[in-house]
C-alpha cells in the first residue's frame, strides 16, 4: 500500500450512527470535533491527500485492529503534537458486494488524561463489543 494516497479505489463511508457516537458526542466548538468535521469535508470533497497507515493487529494496551487503517487528524500531519486525533476505518463489504472503508472510530491518538479512551481503544470496542 502506498502511503499518501487512497490505498485503493475503495470508497470511504461515514455512516450516521458511527459519526454520531464518535464525533457528535463532542462539544461542537471543541478542537477535536472541528478537526474531525474539517477532515471529513476534505475526504468527501476529494481534495485531501490521504496518508493511510495500517493499524497494528495487536496493539498497545491489548487493542486488536486487524485489517484496519487509520488517518491522522488534521490530515497531512504526522506526530502526536501535529496530529493529536485520528480516524480508524475497517474494510467492509456492502450488501451489493462492493468494498468500502467504513469509519468506525474517532478520538485522541495518545490522550494525556488517563480517563480518556484512545481512538484505538474506541475502535477495538466497536469491533469486539468491549474495551481491551
- CA 112/CA 88 separation, integer angstroms: 19
Q: Phi/psi at 58 (nearest 5 deg)? A: -125, 100
pTM: 0.91
H or E segment and range at residue 21: helix 16-22
* Contacts of 62 by beta carbon, 8 Å cutoff, 6+ apart: 124, 132
- CA 97/CA 104 separation, integer angstroms: 19
For residue 79 the three cell numbers come to 506526530
Q: Residue 2 has what pLDDT?
A: 40
Q: Does position 4 have pLDDT exceeding 50, yes or no? A: no
Per-residue pLDDT reduced to its tens digit, 65-103: 999 999 999 999 887 789 999 999 999 998 899 999 999
Task: Give which of 53, 76, 57 is closest to 66, Cα–Cα.
Answer: 57
Q: How confident is the model at residue 9 (pLDDT cuts 50, 70, 90)?
A: confident
Per-residue pLDDT reduced to its tens digit, 26-62: 999 999 999 999 999 999 999 898 999 999 888 888 9
Amino acid at each position: 500500500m502506498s502511503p499518501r494516497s487512497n490505498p485503493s479505489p475503495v470508497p470511504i463511508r461515514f455512516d450516521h450512527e458511527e459519526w454520531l457516537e464518535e464525533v457528535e458526542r463532542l462539544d461542537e466548538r471543541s478542537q477535536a470535533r472541528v478537526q474531525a468535521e474539517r477532515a471529513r469535508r476534505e475526504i468527501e470533497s476529494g481534495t485531501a491527500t490521504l496518508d493511510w497507515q495500517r493499524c497494528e493487529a495487536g496493539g498497545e494496551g491489548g487493542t486488536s485492529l486487524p485489517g484496519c487503517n487509520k488517518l491522522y487528524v488534521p490530515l497531512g500531519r504526522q506526530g502526536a503534537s501535529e496530529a493529536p486525533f485520528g480516524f480508524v476505518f475497517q474494510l467492509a463489504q456492502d450488501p451489493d458486494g462492493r468494498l468500502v472503508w467504513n469509519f468506525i472510530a474517532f478520538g485522541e491518538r495518545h490522550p494525556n488524561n488517563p480517563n480518556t479512551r484512545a481512538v484505538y481503544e474506541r475502535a477495538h470496542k466497536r469491533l469486539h463489543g468491549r474495551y481491551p
